[in-house]
Amino acid sequence: MKNITSTILLSLSITGGVFTSCDIDRFPNNYMATDQVADNQEVLFDNMLNGMYAQLKTWSDPMHRLGEYAGDNMMIRGASTDAFYEFITYSRTPDNYRLQSFWDYGYKAIAQASNIIDMAKDTDDPEIKSKLGECFYVRGMMYFYLCRAFGRPYYQAPDKNLGVPIVNGTPSEEEISNLSLPDRSTVKETYQQAINDLRTAEKMITTPFKNANTASKEAAQAMLSRVYLYMSGTYENPNRLYADSAIYYANRVIESPNFHLVSREDYMKSARTAPENYPEAIFVIKRLAADFPGDDYYYGIGGMYSNIGGMGWGEMYASAKYIDLLNETKRNDWRKGDDGIVDARAKFIEPQYSVDDNGNYTEVLRFITPNAAGTGYTYVQLRVNEDRTECWTVDENNKPKDRYPISLDTERAPEEEYYTINYNGATYTGVIDYEMSLNNGYPMFYITKCSREDNLESQLHSPIISRLDEMYLNRAEAYVKLGNLENARRDVNEIRTRAINNEAAYDESTFSANNAAQLVDKERQLELAYQAERSYDVFRNGGTLERKYPGPHPIDDVLATDYRVTYYIPQTAINSYPNGSTLTQNPTSDEGVILQ
């Protein structure tokens, strides 16, 4: 292999360590002399590449929490002292260690990728050039993910609002003595950096696709499709050029022979399938069981959503809003196992049914009411008689107390077992189901999309960055923004009929200009739930986050124009900037938000 550099400064991340302080403003801790580099270039290069990917493992945990917890697919059992609770409540602060970890490891990955690029930029070795393309992919992806968290939605004055600092690489020996770092670039400039890197990756990666564990040409194309979709404006005021670009790159991936949509049956097994064996997986952050020694599974992504194999807190559950979306076509009856699954996405939800001392289930009517304080909502479970004519509460001795007549809901099919009840002076609709175990009064609808990878009864999960199903939905949204409703309907139906059945397909009368945007967004929410996309999807299209369902979260709507849509820059990053350099904080009120 060609001698690709004369002197290289390497961080501890080469050997599995990390920078000792806040990302980009610290001199690398290890030094490797020229003769050592010359003698060990192939090993060195691969070690550095592995170190770059290793940064993503730690980064992916807060990445998921920022994106998913701020959405409306989940709820938490109660208030928490954990820093992630701020993501749920939108009580933004700059002193949040999970936010800091997302920033730190994002920039560590950028620095590691940039160091490799600088080291080997003059190589003519085709294999090395292809691996350099992987570095450009990771760097471009990181800038995009950082900017969508810390920068305003692209449709809001991208040339004025701030994104993140563009700092590619660690400083040289000469620079360290008089270090100066740039302030945040604009959102537009940050997106352009991401696009430049991803386009370079697309050109440079020539190694054929092997699996989703490493970056590929198609991974770059998939990320470009998403980046351009984020730039494509709102449904009311679309940017046609960027919408067209989102379609172009989605097409490149969809047309690739390396991926195909799996059957409904295989899709329902996707959480249990190792990504290298799943034909829709484009890029994931590969995790191994060895990454989780001892009780570490408690602290993984799936650990908050469920308890699997005795591991996990199981304190966050599918929201009532998401359950209603799953049941919209027809009710999913989890009591019947897979035979009761109507929408394949319901396979990733597991209600925790309780049994009595004899191992028997108890039938109840479960419905939702406003809470007593009028500040939110609560679940109610009332036992029901065999002929479905009444429900009742029970006293401290488990004896019937207050009785309430119930009747079939005529707007749903009788076999779905939806019933109405007049309860405390108001009428509600609920479902007959088995009584569920409660945690702080909330039924435990476990989320298992982030558990059981490789068929292990554990919380093993490789966070999803890009899959083929997203490409169809990216393309559908872009088609709507271009006014091409026929193609948009076709793409939505590809995903929808796979998840439900052919009868669920939309036709021209049910998918029109009046509701196309809503139907695309709904399918995207159903399909991409628990992949850290939802909150960003709402705001980038100028939407409003509505969370009027049980949970301790505030039920006030969050508008796309709210200052809390962006996270604060971590205070540790601001404090670590060298004297004479400025890292500007995000607005602390709506008055500071620039919209146009």
Q: What pTM did the predictor assign? A: 0.92
**What proportions of the chain, in percent to the nearest 5, are helix, strand and coil?**
45, 15, 40
* pLDDT tens per residue across span 280-326: 999 999 999 999 988 889 999 999 999 999 999 999 999 999 999 99
Rounded distance between C-alpha atoms, residue 300 and residue 306, angstroms: 11
Q: Which two tokens stand for residue 156?
A: 């809001």
* pLDDT tens per residue across span 516-546: 999 999 999 999 999 999 999 999 999 999 9
Rounded distance between C-alpha atoms, residue 548 and residue 533, angstroms: 20
Torsions phi, psi for 220 (to 5 deg): -65, -40
In DSSP notation, 49-69 reads HHHHHHHHHHHHHHHHHHHHH
Exposure letters 110-137 (e unless 16+ CB within 10 A, then b): bbbbbbbbbbbeebebeebbbbbbbbbb
Rounded distance between C-alpha atoms, residue 115 and residue 10, angstroms: 8
Rounded distance between C-alpha atoms, residue 303 and residue 312, angstroms: 4
H-run or E-run covering 142: helix 126-150
pLDDT tens per residue, the chain (596 residues)? 433 332 233 232 222 233 333 333 333 333 344 344 445 667 778 889 999 999 999 999 999 999 999 999 999 999 999 999 999 999 999 999 999 999 999 999 999 999 999 988 888 889 999 999 999 999 999 999 999 999 999 999 999 999 999 998 776 666 666 677 899 999 999 999 999 999 999 999 999 999 999 999 999 999 999 999 999 999 999 999 999 999 999 999 999 999 999 999 999 999 999 999 999 999 999 999 999 988 889 999 999 999 999 999 999 999 999 999 999 999 999 999 999 999 999 999 999 999 999 999 999 999 999 998 888 999 999 999 999 999 999 888 888 889 999 999 999 999 999 999 999 999 999 999 999 999 999 999 999 999 999 999 999 999 999 999 999 999 999 999 999 999 999 999 999 999 999 999 999 999 999 999 999 999 999 999 999 999 999 999 999 999 999 999 999 999 999 999 999 999 999 999 888 899 999 999 999 999 99
Question: pLDDT at position 15, please?
Answer: 23
Contact 131, 1 (CB under 8 A): no
Q: State the Cα torsion 17-21-23-27 to the nearest 10°.
A: -80
Exposure letters 408-429 (e unless 16+ CB within 10 A, then b): ebeebeeebbbbbbebeeeebe
Rounded distance between C-alpha atoms, residue 382 and residue 425, angstroms: 16
Q: Which two tokens stand for residue 399?
A: 């004896």
* pLDDT tens per residue across span 320-362: 999 999 999 999 999 999 999 999 999 999 999 999 999 999 9
Q: E-strand spans in 355-440?
A: 363-370, 377-384, 390-394, 400-408, 418-423, 426-434, 438-439
Q: Left, alpha or beta for 104 (phi > 0: left; psi -120 to 50: alpha)?
A: alpha
Rounded distance between C-alpha atoms, residue 462 and residue 284, angstroms: 6
Contact 423, 369 (CB under 8 A): yes
Question: pLDDT at position 44, please?
Answer: 78
Exposure letters 574-585 (e unless 16+ CB within 10 A, then b): eebbeeeeebeb
